[in-house]
Structure 1
Amino acid sequence: MTSATNVINPSFIKTEELHISRTSCATQGNTVLQSVDTQSMSSLNEYNEIKDVKKIKGTKKKKRASDDHAFQRMRNYQVFQQAIFIALLSQFFEIVVRPPVKKSVVSFQLLRVDAIKLMKDVLSINDFIIARCKEKYKMDMKMGTLEKTAKRRSDTNRITELLHLLQDLLREKGFIFISKFTDGKNGAQVIETITSIKGPNGLYLTQTDITKKGETISKYLNSEMSKSTRKFIPMNDKTLQSILFD
């Protein structure tokens, strides 16, 4: 009797084992690749997020620098306007000015106008401006404005009130001003920027004239102030008039 024998093909076993081995390796390889891709994507997302944050910070920094530059230009032009007003008023009055309380190396600074004199009549400019600013500060507080905001406005008001007062005195002497104004949003002070001045004596100053002559006058008065804490400007001061009519 012949016994049944199971014939096993060695080559078949090797082929199957090889197939299984290759399949296992491929699966593991795909898993590794997926893991690497996931890590890469995560790193890329983090990199992009960092780039976006840096971009936002850079944009904010540029905007802040632009705002600072715009404020500096506006403040400088206010100083030049004040210098021109003082020089024009000196044709009719004696003027007493003092240096600013705080010194700045970034922009030009407005002088404190103490008083304007004509014979025995004296107009105390500085006292008038302080009183006006206190009134506006109290009004802002009464309207519910934050104290910090009201104080900031008070500093701005002091400058604009002074310029408006000097300008009003010049209007009484026949000067005509062409101006542009800020919106004065949310109760803020409306700021007037003079673009040209016409005098009763034929004097005409453009915005360029105001800038150039105003800067020269401002530098002259500040240099004079370095010698004393107060500057008395006589009527028809020769230096100021020569700058104006040069």
Structure 2
Amino acid sequence: MATTTDFQIESMTSCAHHLVNCDGYSYSAPMNVVIYDKPKKTEKRKRASEDAFRKMRNYQVYQEAVFIALLSTFFEIVVRAPVKKSIVSLQLLRVEVIRSLRDVINVNDFVISRCKEKYKLDIKDGLLEKTAKRRTDTNRVSELLHFLQDVLRELGFGFVSKVTDGKNGAQVVETVYGIFGNGIELDQKDIIEKGKKINDFLNKRLGGMANLVLEKENEQLRNFIWGNN
């Protein structure tokens, strides 16, 4: 006696061998029917997370470029190309030194020192070494941007920004959406447009060189900010 399960299996097998449309014409179908699953939610979330990261990192690159151009009005600046290559997003340049007639600020040394301190605190608080190292990469970006922003504040610039609290002890991130003072007023659109052009300009100037010295009051950088470029 055939069970319900046997009937279901027989019906499914028959359907796989023989398909009939509503006009009564029959079509043979192969046994190896391939069914493509829809992308899993986890894959969608992963793509969404990657897209969000790319947008955030690119915007941070634009911020840095605008900060460098503003600082070049007052200082000579030495920048270096990024250590690693990335195909996911743009990358921040390494700001090595900010130099005036009276002061020399070793920016990269300061950023590295701050990141080492945070790494030690994370390990002390019980964070996994792998996670702590991953945070260091993120901290290096935020520490550099915070430092450049602090110097600009001392020079009379103001900012419209949003602070995002770090989760589980992660670094607090401040995102700048407006800059004003010293004869300029930039909104988010300006930061994106001018920042992209400045970053392209700096990377082209760097080429394959180890570092690039941007003289004080660099005319091209000044035109990107105050001109119509």
Q: TM-score, normalised by structure 1?
A: 0.79
Matched, 1:37 2:20: no
Q: How high is the sequence identity, in percent, across the aligned residues?
A: 51
| Residue of structure 2 in register with 1:10 after alignment | none
Give the counterpart letter for 2:198 in structure 1. Answer: I
1:240 to 221, 224, 227: 221
Cα separation, 1, equivalents of 2:201 and 2:11: 65
CA RMSD across the alignment: 2.1
Q: Which runs of 4+ in 1 moved over 6 A?
A: none
Listed as ranges, the gaps of 5+ residues in structure 1 are 1-30, 44-49
| Residue of structure 2 in register with 1:210 after alignment | 191
Tell me by how many angstroms 1:54 deviates: 3.5
Tell me by how many angstroms 1:183 deviates: 2.8
| Residue of structure 2 in register with 1:115 after alignment | 97
Give the counterpart letter for 1:64 in structure 2. Answer: K
Cα separation, 2, equivalents of 1:37 and 1:198: 76
Cα separation, 1, equivalents of 2:5 and 2:128: 56
1:97 to 56, 79, 82: 79
Tell me by how many angstroms 1:192 deviates: 1.2
Matched, 1:85 2:67: yes
Tell me by how many angstroms 1:227 deviates: 4.7
Matches within 5 A, 1:1-20: none
Matches within 5 A, 1:138-153: 138-153=120-135
| Residue of structure 1 in register with 2:20 after alignment | none
Give the counterpart letter for 1:142 in structure 2. Answer: K
Listed as ranges, the gaps of 5+ residues in structure 2 are 14-33
Cα separation, 2, equivalents of 1:40 and 1:203: 77
Select the structure of larger CA radius of gyration.
1
Tell me by how many angstroms 1:228 deviates: 1.8
Cα separation, 2, equivalents of 1:174 and 1:159: 23
Report the structure, 1 or 2, having the larger strand content: 2
Give the counterpart letter for 1:37 in structure 2. Answer: F
Relative to structure 1, the CA distance from residue 35 to residue 80 in structure 2 (aligned partners, 3 Å threshold; closer, same or farther) is closer
Cα separation, 1, equivalents of 2:161 and 2:60: 13
| Residue of structure 2 in register with 1:124 after alignment | 106
Q: 160-169 vs 221-230, which deviates more?
A: 221-230
Tell me by how many angstroms 1:102 deviates: 0.8
Relative to structure 1, the CA distance from residue 171 to residue 41 in structure 2 (aligned partners, 3 Å threshold; closer, same or farther) is farther
| Residue of structure 1 in register with 2:210 after alignment | 229
Report the structure, 1 or 2, having the larger helix content: 1
